[in-house]
Amino acid sequence: MAKQKIEQINYATVAKPHTPMYLMHKYWARKPHNVVSEYIENYTKGGDIVLDPFCGSGPTPIEAIKLGRKGIGVDLNPISTFVTRMTAVPIDINQIKNAFEEIKANCKNEINDLYKTKCKKCGKDASIICTHWDNSTPTKIYYYCFSCNKKLDKKPDDEDLKLVKKVEKMGVPYWYPTQRLAYNGEDFKEGTHDPNIDSVDKLFTKRNLVSLTIIFNAISKVKEEKIKQIFLFAFTSMSHLASKMTPVRPTRPMSSFWAMHRYWIP
């Protein structure tokens, strides 16, 4: 049987920005999908098996599937294979919507009570969007007023500070991770790492930790396993944005980002 002649790629392939598919979940050092795709298309043919034994977030097996190959992704890190699988899995949008309404019904009131405030303009109930902190002290609150139909900001008042203190005394209602932040038995010693943050739960304010456990518990009650996994994927994709690791953006004070690929507290 004659060997198939393979044309070599003898030019540079310029990496393109990640498509929305690959932006659903944070993953450091994600490989550019278009470069991976071009190599698969050039060096394999339809129906071939493409194996990536260190698949990371999965661009190789996913692009292989998109090109009509059989993609297999393997990784020591279970988060890697989880992200890969959830990025590629087909879903029924109506099932997702129904499950979301179920989760929301189980969470909404309990969480909203933790983020209540009063509008500085009309004095009526409002819902906190985000809080800026200086160490353990809240310095500014951004909120949505239902009566004014506006997003506003204010300095925390006495009632806001009382609520923070009340939450600090609360027990966390459901399971949450308390694992020590360590590698090979040694504590993290990064120059930017706060030594007081020595376990996973301490990466979050008490209020956000309580809220995240409420959401996680509601997700765990979803009966359809495939749909539950999708919501766990959504949960892990956003949990870092609820942590202390997100600095304030001067130009977008109501949103933030994970600035460094480490346990860094601004």
Residues 168 and 84 in one domain: no
Residue 264 in any domain: the answer is no
DSSP SS3 for 145: strand
| Domain hosting residue 25, numbered range | 20-88
Q: Report pLDDT digits (tens) over 82-99.
A: 999 999 999 999 999 999
- More confidently predicted of 64 and 11: 64
Grade residue 190 by pLDDT with cuts at 50, 70 and 90.
low
Grade residue 1 by pLDDT with cuts at 50, 70 and 90.
very low
**Which of 56, 88, 120 marks a domain boundary?**
88
DSSP SS3 for 126: strand
**Which of 88, 110, 134 marks a domain boundary?**
88
Residues 129 and 220 in one domain: yes
Whole-number Å distance between alpha carbons of 86 and 27? 13
Residue 2 in any domain: the answer is no
Q: Which DSSP state fits 13? A: P
Q: So what's the pLDDT on residue 95? A: 97
- The CA angle 235-236-238, to the nearest 5 degrees, is 70
End-to-end CA distance of the chain: 62
The pTM of the full predicted model, rounded to 2 decimals, is: 0.89
Residue 263 in any domain: the answer is no
Residues 41 and 159 in one domain: no
Q: CA dihedral defined by 206, 212, 214, 219, rounded to 10 degrees?
A: -170
Residues 71 and 107 in one domain: no
Q: Report pLDDT digits (tens) over 2-46.
A: 456 667 777 888 999 999 999 999 998 899 999 999 999 999 999
Q: What is the CATH number of the domain that holds 56?
A: 3.40.50.150
Q: So what's the pLDDT on residue 4? A: 61
Q: Report pLDDT digits (tens) over 127-183.
A: 999 999 998 899 999 999 999 999 999 999 999 999 999 999 999 999 999 998 887
Q: Report pLDDT digits (tens) over 206-265.
A: 999 999 999 999 999 999 999 999 999 999 999 999 999 898 888 899 988 887 777 778
Return the CA Rg of the chain. 23
Structurally, the chain folds into a number of domains equal to 2
Mean pLDDT taken over the chain: 92
What is the number of helices (H) and of strands (E) in the chain? 7, 8
Q: What are phi and psi of 247, to 5 degrees?
A: -75, 160
Residues 172 and 238 in one domain: yes
